[in-house]
Chain A
Amino acid sequence: DSGVTQTPKHLITATGQRVTLRCSPRSGDLSVYWYQQSLDQGLQFLIQYYNGEERAKGNILERFSAQQFPDLHSELNLSSLELGDSALYFCASSTTGGPNEQFFGPGTRLTVL
């Protein structure tokens, strides 16, 4: 158990819908990272927040957004969902702003029908 929690574990929805994925980092970790893992693309970095502020951006679509709240939990919002958005979404956390040692949550499996 990495200490990072993610909810829900599974999510099934339809195209065009909007969903919110939630992540709670390890106690004391200030940085939260979001990744998308699909079969053909591997693990792709989406976005990082550090102590409530956006720190780095990766291959995140404009339909996706994230935020980190004062209690340090983070939410990833996915809107206007497409079939191709079906993937595993992972959250990771680390103590510092740098990504040297990230600890991953169990992931949310999103299925868009």
Chain B
Amino acid sequence: GQQLNQSPQSMFIQEGEDVSMNCTSSSIFNTWLWYKQDPGEGPVLLIALYKAGELTSNGRLTAQFGITRKDSFLNISASIPSDVGIYFCAGRKGGSEKLVFGKGTKLTVNP
């Protein structure tokens, strides 16, 4: 099935650094979602975006719905050790019930 192109695949950063990751598609999406998954757990919804150009924050996390509707970005500021995990983007096309997921960005934060 179709998947979104999520990059980078993995990141190794120092505590306190800012992080950026993105998700792109060849198709237009009407909804973008960002999830975080801890080992052995289910994905947890971080941010939902519904409008092109929308910028939404959740604490130290900020996500944007790209103007072209073909991409989305997630930024984490001042990273802390508990930010460790896998971050997934997900998108929904207009008229579709299905969510399409990226393959995830694995984040490691060194104290």
Q: How many residues of B contact A (CB 8 A)?
A: 25
A33 to B55 alpha-carbon distance, docked (Å): 27
Q: Are A58 and B1 in contact (CB under 8 A)?
A: yes
A residues 44-70 in Cβ contact with B at 8 Å? 44-45, 48, 55-56, 58-59
Instruction: Check A4 for interface membership: any CB of B closer than 8 A.
Output: yes
Residues of chain A lying within 8 A (CB to CB) of residue B102: 42
* A44, B2: Cα distance in complex, Å: 9
Nearest chain B CB to A98 CB, angstrom units: 7
Q: Which residues of B contact A98 (CB under 8 A)?
A: 92, 97
CB within 8 Å: A-B pair count: 65
Bound Cα distance A101, B90 (Å) = 10
A-B contact pairs, 14 of them (CB 8 A): A4-B42, A43-B88, A43-B90, A44-B101, A45-B101, A56-B96, A56-B98, A58-B1, A58-B98, A101-B33, A102-B99, A103-B45, A104-B43, A107-B41
Residues of A within 8 A of B (CB): 2, 4, 33, 42-45, 48, 55-56, 58-59, 90, 92, 97-107
- Beyond the given A4-B42, A100-B92, A106-B40, please list 17 additional residue pairs across the A-B interface where CB-CB is below 8 A: A2-B44, A42-B103, A42-B104, A44-B1, A45-B98, A48-B97, A55-B97, A59-B1, A92-B42, A98-B97, A100-B33, A101-B33, A102-B33, A103-B45, A104-B44, A104-B45, A107-B40
